[in-house]
Structure 1
Amino acid sequence: MFIHKIDDDLSLRLVEMRDAKRIFELTDQSRDYLKEWLPWLDYTQKAEDTEDFIKMGRTNFVESKSMNTVILYKGEIAGVAGFNEITNSNKTAKIGYWLGQEYQGKGIMTRVARALTDYAINILEMNKVEIRVAAENRKSRAIPERLGFKEEGAIRQAEWLYDHYVDHVVYGMLAEEWNKDQQ
């Protein structure tokens, strides 16, 4: 079982089927909050939908295509983060994340994104890590900016959010930049 300890309060653990109920509860409790920026809430209406997400994620993990982890904050599942896409041929990983509303404002996601970036570059030996964020999502954009990711550009109308398109800003971190900055 994959567990990555970040600090005394925070760790990442590969998502397991036993997590489905808690992840669904957290999703449901934060539904209105999450729906502002995440397009999948209408497709997550029952715990079985979360189970399907976990099954797909486990298959993709075995095939080295992605890696979904639960964020454990003080031993409790606070959200989900990981690599939405891993492309071994190009040595790139794309980080995705969400956090339950009650866990916001504690610096959790910045620490998680830092740990995932470090893991991708120094353990998985990726050359580049990307974070794509809705252009107007200031809280989420602050995370790669705090970590020194470079803003690489925008993708117009990149995602359909229920009744409108949103542009994405692409942030990137190269291995050589990360390892230089972390010394």
Structure 2
Amino acid sequence: MFIYKINEELSLKLIDLNDGARIYELTDQSRAYLREWLPWLDYTTKPEDTNEFIKMSISGFADRKSVTTVILFKGVIVGVAGFNSINWSNKTAQIGYWLGKEYQGNGIMTKVTKALVEYAFNELKLNKVEIRVATENIKSRSIPERLGFINEGCIRQAEWLYDHYVDHYIYGMLADEWKKQDITT
């Protein structure tokens, strides 16, 4: 089992089917909150939907196309984060993440994202990490900004969010830029 320890309270664990009930529960508890920025909530209406997501995530990992982890805070699953896609030819990855509403505001996601970036550069030997965020999602944008990512531009109408399009900023970090930084979280 893959577990990446960030600190005494925080770890990332490769997602598996045993996590399904808790992830669905967390999704359901935070549904209205998450729905503001995540397009998949209307398609996750029962535990089986979460299990299908987990199966796709396991397949993506087996095919070396993605890495999906659960975020463990004090031993409890509080969210999901990982590399939504990995392009081995170009040595790039895109990070995606979400956190249950009650766990917001504790710096968890900044620490998780920093750990994923370090893993991408040090373990996977990638050259670039991207984070795509809706332009109006200030909380989510603050994470790559806090970590020194460069806002590389805007993709107009990048995502359909239930009844409207949202634009995305693309934040990028290169391996050599990351090594020059001194970021404490």
TM-score normalised by L of structure 1: 0.99
Cα shift readout 1:92-145 (whole Å, capped 9, x = no counterpart): 010000000000000000000000000001100000000000000000000000
Give the structure 1 partner of residue 170 of structure 2: 170
Aligned mates of 1:46, 1:104 — CA distance in 2: 24
Give the structure 2 partner of residue 71 of structure 1: 71
Aligned mates of 2:36, 2:68 — CA distance in 1: 21
Aligned mates of 1:62, 1:68 — CA distance in 2: 11
Give the structure 1 partner of residue 5 of structure 2: 5
- Per-residue deviation at 1:179? 1.1
Aligned mates of 1:174, 1:122 — CA distance in 2: 12
Aligned mates of 2:24, 2:86 — CA distance in 1: 25
SS at match of 1:4: strand
Give the structure 2 partner of residue 110 of structure 1: 110
Give the structure 2 partner of residue 27 of structure 1: 27
TM-score normalised by L of structure 2: 0.98
Give the structure 1 partner of residue 52 of structure 2: 52
Aligned mates of 1:67, 1:47 — CA distance in 2: 21
Aligned mates of 2:19, 2:153 — CA distance in 1: 36
SS at match of 2:145: helix
Cα RMSD, aligned residues only: 0.8
Aligned mates of 2:131, 2:118 — CA distance in 1: 14
- Per-residue deviation at 1:13? 0.1
Unaligned 5+ residue runs, structure 1?
A: none
- Per-residue deviation at 1:181? 1.1
> How many residue pairs end up in the alignment?
183
The aligned amino acid for 1:120 is: A
- Per-residue deviation at 1:180? 1.5
Aligned mates of 1:9, 1:107 — CA distance in 2: 12
Moved segments of 4+, more than 4 Å: none
Give the structure 1 partner of residue 150 of structure 2: 150
Unaligned 5+ residue runs, structure 2?
A: none
